[in-house]
Amino acid sequence: MKKLSLTMTVLGTLAMGLMGTAQAANNGKLIFNGTLTNMTCDVGAGSGVSPGSNPGEINVDLGNVSFADIGLSSESKLQTATPIQLLVNCSAGAAQYNTVKMRFAARNGSGLDNNDQSLLRTTGAADGVGIGLINASNVLMDLSGSETIDKPLIKDGAGGATAQLDFGAVYVLNGTATNPGNADGFMPFVMDYE
């Protein structure tokens, strides 16, 4: 009986020590700011892409590409790029906004490529490649950063506006051994209006 009560005392002392550690944590606060608007905008597929099977999805077919036709990010070998055109159509609430900015969340999609953080990681059997985005100036974007694709909103005088976003996607070598196969990926995007 004494052995059991000694064990209970040791366990109780350990538990009190752990509770003391938990109470010593740092405190802080989150401060949220934002604005709500009546703006109603849709993003649809333009030329070069097609609507996906779910609302908000855009399918981009990168085609059947040979490793011989693509290069590293530093080589800017972009001949096999697929043009992407997205059409923004705001039906109401756009009068106070002048610009749409498209930002990308590669980390929330298939992720950043392990060997070249400027690229989107691919899924599938292929190795040695990532997916890059090309901006309107024909420059490979860094998907690990905060680059955006910006376009002015063209207002219709009745509270609506439109914009056409043109950019591209291309396979890019990531510097590791290559292996053929499917090289797919996905990446959420957000439209910010300013």
Q: What is the pLDDT of residue 23?
A: 57
Task: Determine, yes or no, domain membership for 140.
Answer: yes
Higher pLDDT, 21 or 52: 52
Task: Determine, yes or no, domain membership for 24.
Answer: no
Task: Determine, yes or no, domain membership for 10.
Answer: no
Task: Determine, yes or no, domain membership for 6.
Answer: no
Domain of 84 in residue numbering reads as 38-193
Least confident window among 27-36, 78-87, 156-165 = 27-36
Give the DSSP letter of residue 181: S
- With beta carbons less than 8 A apart as the criterion, state whether 140 and 168 touch: no
Higher pLDDT, 63 or 2: 63
CATH of the domain at 104: 2.60.40.1090
Q: 0.95 cut: is pTM over it?
A: no
pLDDT above 60 (res 3) = no
Q: What is the pLDDT of residue 109?
A: 93
Q: What is the side-by-side strand order in the sheet with 189-193?
A: 148-152, 99-104, 189-193
Measure Cα distances from 41 to 52, 147, 153, 164 in Å.
18, 22, 11, 13
Least confident window among 10-24, 93-107, 121-135 = 10-24
Question: Into how many domains does the chain fold?
Answer: 1
Task: Determine, yes or no, domain membership for 9.
Answer: no
Average pLDDT, the chain: 85
Q: What mean pLDDT do residues 12-41 have?
A: 65
Task: Determine, yes or no, domain membership for 14.
Answer: no
pLDDT above 70 (res 25) = no
pLDDT digits (tens, 9 = 90+) for 73-113: 888 889 999 999 999 999 988 888 999 999 999 999 999 99
Helix (H) or strand (E) holding 167: strand 161-173
Q: Distance between CA 93 and CA 40 in Å, rounded? A: 7
